[in-house]
Structure 1
Amino acid sequence: MKKYDRITPEGTRDLLFRECEAQRKITETLRSTFEGKGYHEVITPGIEFYDVFSSNSRYFPQDSIYKLIDHKGRLLAMRPDSTIPIARMTATKLKGHALPIRLFYGQRVYRQQPELRGRSSEIMQMGIELVGLSSYESDIEILTTGMEALSSCCVDDYRIELGHIGIYKLLMENLKATPEQKETIHSLIVSKNYAGLSDILEDFPENRTGELLKELPKLFGGKEALEKARGLFDGYDGELLDMLSYLERIFQGLMERNLDKVMIDFGLVHQADYYSSLIFKGYISSVGEPVLSGGRYDELFKDFGESLPATGFGINVDQLASGLLKEGNTSERSDGAPQSENIRIALTKGRLENSIVGMFEEIGYDCTNLKEKGRKLLLSIPDKNMDVVLAKAADVITYVEHGVCDVGVVGKDTIVESGGTFYEVLDLGFGKCKFALAVPKGSDFYSGYSTKRIATKYPKVASSYFESKGMDVEVIKIEGSVELAPLLSLADGIVDIVETGTTLKENGLEVIEEIRNVSARLIVNIASMKLKKTEIEALISDIQEKIRG
């Protein structure tokens, strides 16, 4: 029997020397900051009953929680979040305590992560919870404490983005959509997928609610985003304008306190069921994802039999420590490439690379280095202060997701199959093809009682497609020419990318179902969109003008 006694489980790692020192300094600094603001430390169990996280609000997906069974057969969960257990503890152990209650914590949370994505399953979090106040002053207190916390950890280049989940919730209540449509719309707004959002909202013609939802992910920036929103929302709903006014008041309040590293994002709609009004995230330049996340959650305590307003935030100490260690090494980035303030764009090698380089040339970019690249994989567009990375499609997503590249060009097929956390901002209009189900010509795929076998390079796409049809199939992953599988009687059909269909015909196959269209997309790292907004928007604008002709 193989023993796993010399390695750590996926998503976990040992911390040594400088990493331990960095974490200790951050936790000590944050502890001092929180205690100085009058917050008191609490610790909740690392293992809770699963019921704590399984309320109707569905804050955390079932597949993200590590589960155990105790000696009585009861289902347990390793703590995936700190706020929910603190709400449980406050509603029970601190019931009747004088309000407000100011609490802080420093403890690990555990979340299942997608395989081989380089994300931690064990995360050190520190944060605060302010329970029993629902005032403007309490929201300002939480935000200023969060900004002070980042500053106290020697973070200079940070941004806090503000949103109001109530605006999104009100619009979604007014949209006559099915739960499935609403779930899709939510994910499209989160990813700033302008094209996909526009497509699905076409099902709601002449609907002002749909038009406003289309604009939400585009409304981000400074004071100008608030002004644009006021123009768009005017005359729609008084409650919506009240929410906007409150967001403006918060923004102005921070500015008056000389806390100007703040921006607005109306597309900030994370965990819509969890939060009730003001929400926010924090970014630093050396980490490609948020290091701070929080907001107001006035409805959460109802899950534990209480009705208490509350707000708070959590800081990912691991990410913050990692980012500060990177910043400490000024000569080299974590990816081994020279430190650069340029926009870094990852291109999918091959046809998509040729298409985008051709587009850049037509726009007027100097692409000499790209056309005479030889075997180089890291090049530059000197007249635009842009570095270019050439990579395989799946790697483009990885580089953008982790923040070592700010922008990427990749096919929608890879996005659908690989997933990831980034903004999908443009359909580039080239690299067009489609996912399709193909079977041997003349065969009746849907007849009989046996479970069908499907060969594919895209098992996630294939599985999701047949699940949507309520059909049980056996999916076999193929790396090479998938058309061979039916010829060798390995599979009854294939799910693959189809452009002209010539290869299918030559191998005796025919398309019986078209699954979805795909094309090349422009994706952007979440933190880069906030910290390099001007440069990235200039690139997007250049491409949009070319697409529009």
Structure 2
Amino acid sequence: MNKKPVHTPEGVRDIYGKEYAVKLAIEEHIHGQLNSYGYEDIQTPTFEFFDVFSKDIGTTPSRELYKFFDKEGNTLVLRPDFTPSMARCAAKYYMDEDVPIRFCYLGNTFTNTSNLQGKLKEVTQMGAELMGDDSVEADGEIIALAVSSLLAAGLQEFQLSIGEIEYFKGICEEVGLDEDTELSLRDYISGKNIFGAEALLLEKGIDEKHREMLLKTTDFFGSAEMLKEAAAIVDNDRSRSAVERLFALYQVLCEYGVEKYISFDLGMLSKYNYYTGVIFKAYAYGVGDAILKGGRYDNLLSRFGKEAPAVGFMVVIDDLMQALFHQNIQLPEKESVRTIIYAKDSFRAALREAKKLRQEGIRVALVPEKNMQERGE
């Protein structure tokens, strides 16, 4: 007899029982927080046309996408992240909308990578997008909402680190780096590979002053006081304006009362090239990667025909659950299912009792008496 296919493919898993109940509770707590800030729910398709996540958009590399064809021959992909889908949707349905748009979402994303290192290929993401507002107050709202969402989920110890893409881009522009070199350097710096970054700059013939300026970005992390030193070493308005915005952002976050969770890291750069300004990541004990990521992407909507700035974040629910586990945080659980055992002649009375309890919000399972006898109970 052939072996039954009960196992899942590599990189995906089943979630059931108590673990799934906890996951649903976390999603419910975060969802309530997102709604409390005025974000409205939106659902986009699990798969989209390939062009929504193409190289020009600046999202996940093509080799890491799950690609397939429909019967018309169109190339489709399972979504690797939500932001391009949100931008497409806003451009389609809110093209003439002038006031800010607030979306929130929940769903699974898919990344076809062989370099798992304990990561899943399918994860659940939950997040929010604020479109049509380019203000520092909008940045502050999104970051404060990100912090309050983690707190609402029960997480107690975490740090949200903020960077600014424009600071790095300003230095690259000052130095005169071409786009390909900038992208390669971004990979080295975001991976804290100083030796690789220095070798690249030497290969490109960058003088010592500018090499040190670029490499020093990895040293700029910590409190808001560090930003003064970061502003002092640059000679271009683009980088200085980025630092000034971070100072203003910090003041907004102080107004929200979330500054204890905030730090800065000007060496933080994202693999997603659609980010244009402030970016941020949240880290927690017990999880190697960021549990929450976000940033500003002011040019992405224009790829779909709508000129509008935007900022948003997403939290990886699976990683957040791992962080909660490592911090020994127990979420409130729903009352256990109450079992009512019935014999054939008592079914009507048992059903009547079950209906009454269910109306009171109690979960009830009706179980035939013979089933319990077969289990020896």
User: What's the TM-score bracket when you normalise by the shorter of the two chains?
Assistant: 0.7 to 0.9
Alpha-carbon distance in 1 for matches of 2:138, 2:13: 37
Structure 2 counterpart of 1:217: 218
Cα distance, 1:304–1:116 mapped onto 2, change above 3 Å:
closer
Moved more, 157-166 or 11-20: 11-20
The DSSP-based 3-state class of the residue aligned with 1:48 is: strand
The DSSP-based 3-state class of the residue aligned with 1:202 is: helix
Structure 1 counterpart of 2:46: 46
Deviations 1:199-242 (A, max 9, x none): 33234343543321110111111134212212222xx0123211
Cα distance, 1:155–1:171 mapped onto 2, change above 3 Å:
same
Cα deviation for residue 325 of structure 1 reads 2.2
The DSSP-based 3-state class of the residue aligned with 1:328 is: coil
Contact 1:64–1:111 under 8 Å retained in 2: yes
Contact 1:164–1:279 under 8 Å retained in 2: yes
The amino acid of 1:254's aligned partner reads: L
Deviations 1:379-404 (A, max 9, x none): xxxxxxxxxxxxxxxxxxxxxxxxxx
Cα deviation for residue 279 of structure 1 reads 0.7
Contact 1:163–1:280 under 8 Å retained in 2: yes
Alpha-carbon distance in 2 for matches of 1:82, 1:104: 10
Deviations 1:23-42 (A, max 9, x none): 11110001100111111000
Matched, 1:165 2:179: no
Cα deviation for residue 180 of structure 1 reads 4.5
Cα deviation for residue 246 of structure 1 reads 0.8
Contact 2:162–2:262 under 8 Å retained in 1: yes
Share of identical aligned residues, percent? Answer: 30
The amino acid of 1:174's aligned partner reads: E
The amino acid of 1:209's aligned partner reads: H
Alpha-carbon distance in 2 for matches of 1:4, 1:67: 27
Cα deviation for residue 302 of structure 1 reads 1.2
Q: Cα RMSD over matched residues? A: 2.1
Contact 2:108–2:123 under 8 Å retained in 1: yes
Structure 1 counterpart of 2:126: 126
Cα deviation for residue 250 of structure 1 reads 1.1
Residue pairs, 1:200-239, within 5 angstroms: 200-203=200-203, 204-206=205-207, 208-233=209-234, 236-239=235-238
Name the TM-score, length of structure 2 as normaliser: 0.82
Structure 1 counterpart of 2:372: none
Contact 2:60–2:272 under 8 Å retained in 1: no
Structure 2 counterpart of 1:246: 245
Name the TM-score, length of structure 1 as normaliser: 0.57
Structure 1 unaligned segments of length 5 or more: list them. 331-549
The DSSP-based 3-state class of the residue aligned with 2:273 is: coil
Alpha-carbon distance in 2 for matches of 1:177, 1:307: 28
Alpha-carbon distance in 1 for matches of 2:132, 2:14: 39
Structure 2 counterpart of 1:543: none
Cα deviation for residue 255 of structure 1 reads 3.0
Structure 2 counterpart of 1:324: 324
Moved more, 182-191 or 196-205: 196-205
Structure 1 counterpart of 2:368: none
Alpha-carbon distance in 1 for matches of 2:115, 2:201: 33
Cα deviation for residue 55 of structure 1 reads 5.0
Alpha-carbon distance in 2 for matches of 1:133, 1:75: 33
Cα deviation for residue 253 of structure 1 reads 2.7
Structure 2 counterpart of 1:24: 24
Cα distance, 1:11–1:92 mapped onto 2, change above 3 Å:
same
Alpha-carbon distance in 2 for matches of 1:186, 1:158: 25
The DSSP-based 3-state class of the residue aligned with 1:105 is: strand
Alpha-carbon distance in 2 for matches of 1:47, 1:256: 40
The DSSP-based 3-state class of the residue aligned with 2:327 is: helix
Alpha-carbon distance in 1 for matches of 2:131, 2:179: 32
Cα deviation for residue 168 of structure 1 reads 1.3
Cα distance, 1:140–1:8 mapped onto 2, change above 3 Å:
same
Alpha-carbon distance in 2 for matches of 1:100, 1:294: 18
The amino acid of 1:258's aligned partner reads: G
- Higher relative CO (Cα under 8 Å, sequence separation at least 6) belongs to 2
Alpha-carbon distance in 2 for matches of 1:205, 1:131: 38
Cα deviation for residue 188 of structure 1 reads 1.2
Alpha-carbon distance in 1 for matches of 2:326, 2:61: 32
Structure with more of its chain in helix, by fraction: 2
Structure 1 counterpart of 2:186: 186
Cα deviation for residue 3 of structure 1 reads 6.8
The DSSP-based 3-state class of the residue aligned with 1:312 is: strand
Structure 2 counterpart of 1:393: none
Contact 2:158–2:284 under 8 Å retained in 1: yes
The amino acid of 1:107's aligned partner reads: G
Cα deviation for residue 257 of structure 1 reads 3.6
The amino acid of 1:118's aligned partner reads: G
The amino acid of 1:155's aligned partner reads: L
Structure 2 counterpart of 1:278: 278
Contact 2:168–2:239 under 8 Å retained in 1: no
Provide the aligned length of Structure 1 versus Structure 2: 328
Contact 1:129–1:312 under 8 Å retained in 2: yes
Alpha-carbon distance in 2 for matches of 1:182, 1:290: 24
Deviations 1:397-448 (A, max 9, x none): xxxxxxxxxxxxxxxxxxxxxxxxxxxxxxxxxxxxxxxxxxxxxxxxxxxx
Cα deviation for residue 191 of structure 1 reads 1.1
Alpha-carbon distance in 2 for matches of 1:4, 1:169: 54
Alpha-carbon distance in 1 for matches of 2:212, 2:241: 20
Residue pairs, 1:59-458, within 5 angstroms: 59-115=59-115, 117-203=117-203, 204-206=205-207, 208-233=209-234, 236-259=235-258, 260-271=260-271, 273-328=273-328
Alpha-carbon distance in 2 for matches of 1:192, 1:160: 18
Deviations 1:116-174 (A, max 9, x none): 52211111000000011111211111111111111111111111111110111222233
The amino acid of 1:129's aligned partner reads: E
Cα distance, 1:50–1:173 mapped onto 2, change above 3 Å:
same
Cα deviation for residue 312 of structure 1 reads 0.4
Alpha-carbon distance in 2 for matches of 1:94, 1:287: 38
Structure 2 unaligned segments of length 5 or more: list them. 331-377
Alpha-carbon distance in 1 for matches of 2:220, 2:282: 18
Contact 1:66–1:112 under 8 Å retained in 2: yes
